Amino acid sequence: MGAPARSTGGQTIDAVTEDASSLLLPADVAASGFYITNAYNTITNNAASGGWAGFAFPTLKWPIKAHFSVQRSPAQRPTLIFDGNSAHSSGWWWDRAGMIYVGGSLEHTDPSDPTSLLVYKAGRAATRDTCTTLGNWCGESPCRCDDEKQAFLRFTNTKLFLSASTGVLNWGERGEIIGLKTFDLALSVYIYIYIYIYI
């Protein structure tokens, strides 16, 4: 595996491209305890320790590899249930990584060719527009959610501790955090646009 993704500052990090001899999945440069490309799942009562992030939610505008022809945008899906999870000692390689990190992007170098190489951008690369229902397919770019279909990435009853980084970092458009406990962090929460926090 290649060296961990690093930044000299700012919100972006150099892109990493798939290499058949040493790095089949370029997102491994930001290896995390839990790597979740489809947020629309039930993720409960897990404990993450170490890594780029405890829980990483990379943005996939389109499915990749064998699922390339599925006309859905994984980035449009909100969390189904994310409850009772904890993370500690994560987020050491980048001060903006976050112990729960919603960011980065993974896609093919040629968006029209599923056999093209994968490229991963670990930093701020793409935002999510999460919807309550799967949006229509819009060809080469995912559709935007209608206002009445906007949904939140919701994290409930979460405990984050012991990091020189951020607790929750979300480059998405909407985040909701209910019952967050943080200890010994550089920053508890950083959200790109809209966030609701209920303690």
pLDDT band of 177, cuts 50, 70, 90 = very high
Using one digit for the tens of pLDDT, what is the confidence trace for 18-58?
998 888 889 888 889 999 999 999 999 999 999 989 999 99
pLDDT band of 142, cuts 50, 70, 90 = low
Contact in structure between 143 and 61 (CB atoms under 8 Å): no
pLDDT band of 1, cuts 50, 70, 90 = very low
Q: Distance of alpha carbon 144 from its chain centroid, rounded?
A: 18
Q: What integer pLDDT is reported at residue 111 of this predicted model?
A: 82
**Among the listed residues 194, 153, 198, the one whose alpha carbon sits nearest the alpha carbon of residue 178:** 198
d(CA 54, CA 43): 13
Using one digit for the tens of pLDDT, what is the confidence trace for 84-127?
999 999 987 777 778 999 988 999 999 889 999 999 998 887 67
Of 18 and 1, the one with more pLDDT: 18
Q: What integer pLDDT is reported at residue 137 of this predicted model?
A: 56
pLDDT band of 11, cuts 50, 70, 90 = confident
Contact in structure between 90 and 51 (CB atoms under 8 Å): yes
pLDDT at 135 over 80: no
Contact in structure between 40 and 77 (CB atoms under 8 Å): yes
pLDDT at 61 over 60: yes
d(CA 185, CA 163): 5
| Pairing label, strands 34-35, 174-183 | unpaired
Tokens 């080469």 belong to residue: 140
Helix intervals (H) in the chain: none
Domain ranges of the chain: 17-149+167-178
pLDDT at 139 over 60: no
Helix (H, G, I), strand (E, B) or coil at 98: coil
